Amino acid sequence: MDAVLRGGIIYLALLLLFRLYGRRTLGQITTFDFVLLLIIAEATQQTMVGEDHSFTNAFLLILTLFAIDAAFSFWKQKSARAAALLEGMPLVLVHQGRLVEKVMHSVQLDEADILAAARESKGLERLDQIRYAVLEVNGRISIVPKVRDSS
């Protein structure tokens, strides 16, 4: 039963940590991020299992983690507030060609990140060509170009 409690606590702690660390990290994982995740996985594995390395303990722990994940998924489906709390909301980074500095600072992005996303997704080269840039809950940046005058 100790592993179930440990597993639940570690799951919640990691969920909170990654939620606070930011969605940008999860959207575009780098080699450094991957190495960090491997180290975190090893550290949490040791913490969750403790001294009991039995099959039964591991199986019980896996079931616990799946149950917690299923409960959170169900909660998110039933409550928009829960979904916002657990996953966050999309954030507007650019509004009518202008950076929303406060949001940009809070998510640790800069103009170069926006322009890179604009080039990759829409072939845009300047901020004034962007109507909206939105940081989605999955960490990706969506670009909505300004409508061009056809006259």
The pLDDT tens digits of the residues spanning 106-147 come to: 888 999 999 999 999 999 999 999 999 999 888 889 999 998
* Largest Cα–Cα separation, the chain: 73
Integer angstrom CA distances of residue 28 from 55, 105, 116, 144: 35, 18, 13, 20
Count of structural domains within the chain: 2
- Separation of first and last alpha carbons in the chain: 71
* 82: region left, alpha or beta (phi > 0 left; psi from -120 to 50 alpha): alpha
Regions in the chain scoring below 70 on pLDDT? 1, 22-33, 149-151
pLDDT at 29: 66
**Domain check: are 73 and 96 in the same one?**
no
**Domain check: are 97 and 58 in the same one?**
no
**Domain check: are 73 and 120 in the same one?**
no
Residue 150 lies in a domain: no
**Domain check: are 52 and 100 in the same one?**
no
pTM of the entire predicted model: 0.66
